[in-house]
Structure 1
Amino acid sequence: MKPTLTVPKTVPISRNFATFVDPWLFAATIALVLCGLVMVYSASATLGRENYQSQFHFLVRQVVAALIGGGLLLGSLWLGYSRLERPWVVYGLLGVTAGLLVLALCLPPVRGTHRFIRLPGVMFQPSELAKLALVLFLAFFLSRKDVLARRDPFRALLPVAVVGGLLMGLVFLGRDLGTILMMGGTAFAMLVVAGVPLRYPAVAGALCSPLLLYALLKEPYRRARLLAFLDPWKAPREEGFQIVQSLMAVGSGGVSGVGFAQSRQKLFYLPEAHTDFIFSVIAEEIGLIGSLMLITLFGVIAVRGLRAAYLAPDDFGKLLAVGVTVLLVGQALFNLSVVLSLVPAKGIPLPFISYGGSSLMMSLLAAGWLLSVSQRNLSARP
């Protein structure tokens, strides 16, 4: 058995910063953010100039979000993840998140959905916070020694079903099916790692499958996306337009790409070029080589994140690291699969890369939690 390590609750950020932070994980995170800023500018400059009279319109907003997210990351390191393991923090975040999701449902729709809260000059997407709130709750609840030791696992896991169902139900009412899939997949992984018998999350997933099928077939635009996935070339100017343009962009890049800022598909051919489909622009401009480098950075986050979970000095840190790693890397894999038409199109941004302040800030906050777990690992070494 791995020995239990006793370490301080927090590890201050000092001049020996590199000593207490996983340099690979930190470097991969910063590299992805910088790459995202560069590619957001490339993918949105023309759109910003045409619609907002400034080619830097989207870049400026993304830089502001990156600075705020960077502050959240450093704050997480300074406080230490153990500060999160307090009931008032966990349930307070759940309450705030649920309140924001309800508020979004009560406000006028934005782009036909209730996913956003419009603030002066910006829009906040509470479903991005909901993903982190669920991860934190699961890490807190499943790390309690008495939960899985009870004779009736069903009753022990009932709070998980209630809280998870409430958050995902509110997100579903906001018409954000992609986020629900990510939340469900992350919860499944955390339950398995926590030692929950596989049959329980498997049965829960099976019971939710009819609801997922209903959600896919009920909305006309979702049915259209599903048909476009099955055969995008059948209607290349209608339902399959976005996927066809994405594949053309990826194919045009070749091995080395057409050059930075030289993408043709971003010139009003490829919808959402700077958000959900930014990887298509990346593949076109920097080619297979650049795309593999980007994927490698997410691979570094996956390896170092799971390593941090394995070496975590307590169950809360282990589950928190697993949840964050699965959330970030799983979302990246899902986004890349959509861009390459391996799965039906869903509105899932590429973490750290896609334009969107809510996604970037919450991704950096999640990275801060993960770095904090690795910080404890390093500081506990003899």
Structure 2
Amino acid sequence: MTATLTPGEERKRARAERRKRTSVFTLLTAWLGRPLASFHLVLAVFGLLTVLGLVMVLSASSVVSLDTGSSVYTVFKKQLLFVVIGTVAFWVAVRMPLKKMRQFAAPALAVCFGLLVLVLVVGTTRNGTTSWFVIGPISFQPIEVAKLALVLWGAHVLVQKKAMLHQYRHLLVPLVPVALLMFALVMMQPDLGGTVTLIVVLFALLWFAGAPMRLFGAATLGGLGGIVVLSLNEGYRLARVLTFLNPDADPTGKGHQALQAKYALADGGLLGRGLGQGQSKWEYLPNVHNDFIFALIGEELGFLGCALVLGLFAMLAVVGLRIAARNIDPWIRMVAATLTVWLVGQAAINIAYVVGLLPVTGITLPMISAGGSSIVVTMFVFGILANCARHEPESVAALRSQGPGRFGRLMKLPAPDVYNPPQKRKPSRPSTPPRATGRREPASRRAGTSERQLNERRRTRRSVPVPEHRREHRRSARGRAGHPRADEGGRH
């Protein structure tokens, strides 16, 4: 039997629970108010996504590795190698001064344009897309680096023209023409997923630069029109759209991948079948370790595993925008916000087409899907976000006064520089206007004084008695003016 509580005891228990909830909330708020809280949150999200990605790639690629390689660890070993390279890239991005990164943005963008042109000539074609450089066992996609270069350079241009962004000419030029040229080169491969990600980056830059809503409305209408034209132009794109609208029309052909992804998510239930026990990786779901790895997460880890992935990317969105809001350097603010939108938007598109909300576009799930250049560039982006977090004003003050901290000493990070806003230029002194030729008007007439007022002033001056010492001074001055000096007379 359970003992019944008196009303007084119930009130005491309720007050104790409220105090407990308040104390937890107070501790969390106090921790988030610490100077390096954003930096530690970026490290936590980065570490959890890296571990989860390695575990899921090992589980998803075992069957493919056994079919194409000598062991079940072939794809996993390759992914582990790229993660090690990406970890070095993360460390470099955290240590690199952001000023140098901003200076190298324009040369990096020029190099990326050269690589996008070169890949069309000597690139390797995979799955109908010529977007790969293959050097021995290593493959590389230049579009991944091009997206990062567009973010850094675009933010630099928009910050430089901040005072003139209310004019469309300065808001759109040169950012939009450069981005459209990059779109054209990527669509010549053709790589629809890369183009969609570039559009997300461009929209994020314009949004955080303060572009008006009517511009986004016109761009959305133009984008929908371009999608319709491109879909009707190529047969495989039209097939993707039709499959998205009705995947049951061809369940063993075009709609096979979309239907199998939904079946895998449904089989997982709440807790999943168990890690490594998924059936979709046995060639039921193509590309399960790349584009459709979220379906395997739902099958093996269930709804809780999917919620974990969604929660990590939601935390990334909050932390990235928090870093942008707490910085005072406008370039860092725009870079942090745009990189956050890029990563979270790419994850949202991937998850949306896995669950059937969007057509399949071939976009990978950041930090989790298998891929070489994708994982390295994404880790470098996380390093930039961590570097931006260390440049918050409170973090800069704490790091420069109290030392680098535990993680700073472990990674040998230098103290961030203090932000000095650019000084406003003083307006130049206006030049003296040229004197007019000819006879000059009297000052009284230039000031608008009439002849009658001038005569009255003269009469008033004459009527006022002049003191005796002033009269003597005037007489002596007239005398000196009428008789030249002795030296002047001697010369003449």
TM-score by length of 2: 0.71
1:380 paired residue among 382, 396, 410: 396
Offset, 1:28: 0.7
Secondary structure class of the residue paired with 1:115: strand
| Structure with more contact order per residue of length (Cα contacts < 8 Å, sep ≥ 6) | 1
Q: Distance in 1 between matches of 2:290 and 2:325?
A: 33
Partner of 1:9: none
Q: Which amino acid counterpart does residue 159 of structure 2 have in structure 1? A: S
Q: Distance in 1 between matches of 2:199 and 2:85?
A: 28
Offset, 1:204: 3.6
2:133 paired residue among 80, 97, 117: 117
Offset, 1:199: 2.7
Q: Which amino acid counterpart does residue 174 of structure 1 have in structure 2? A: Q
Q: Is the 8 A contact 1:312 1:318 kept in 2?
A: yes
1:63 paired residue among 80, 86, 107: 80
Q: Distance in 2 between matches of 1:376 and 1:113?
A: 40
Secondary structure class of the residue paired with 1:109: strand
Q: Is the 8 A contact 2:262 2:295 kept in 1?
A: yes
1:265 aligns with 2:314: no
1:362 paired residue among 354, 377, 390: 377
Partner of 1:197: 212
Partner of 1:32: 49
Offset, 1:227: 1.2
Over 4 Å off, 4+ runs: 18-21
Residues 152-301 of structure 1 mapped to structure 2, 5 A cutoff: 152-301=167-316
Secondary structure class of the residue paired with 1:32: helix
Offset, 1:202: 3.5
User: Any idea what the Cα deviations from partners look like across 1:46-67, whole Å, max 9, x if unmatched?
Assistant: 1101211211111111111111
Q: Is the 8 A contact 2:38 2:322 kept in 1?
A: no
Residues 54-93 of structure 1 mapped to structure 2, 5 A cutoff: 54-86=71-103, 89-93=104-108
Larger Rg: 2
Q: Which runs of 5+ in 2 are unaligned?
A: 1-34, 399-492
Q: Percent identity over the alignment?
A: 34
Partner of 1:313: 328
User: Any idea what the Cα deviations from partners look like across 1:210-251, whole Å, max 9, x if unmatched?
Assistant: 222211222211111111111111211011000011001000
Secondary structure class of the residue paired with 2:131: coil
Partner of 1:128: 144
Offset, 1:21: 6.2
TM-score by length of 1: 0.91
Q: Is the 8 A contact 2:158 2:171 kept in 1?
A: no
Q: Is the 8 A contact 1:66 1:361 kept in 2?
A: yes
User: Any idea what the Cα deviations from partners look like across 1:56-93, whole Å, max 9, x if unmatched?
Assistant: 1111111111111111111111113232221xx11111
User: Any idea what the Cα deviations from partners look like across 1:133-175, whole Å, max 9, x if unmatched?
Assistant: 111111111111x344267422452101121111111111111
Q: Which amino acid counterpart does residue 139 of structure 2 have in structure 1? A: M
1:23 paired residue among 37, 40, 48: 40
Partner of 2:65: 48
Q: Distance in 1 between matches of 2:250 and 2:117?
A: 37
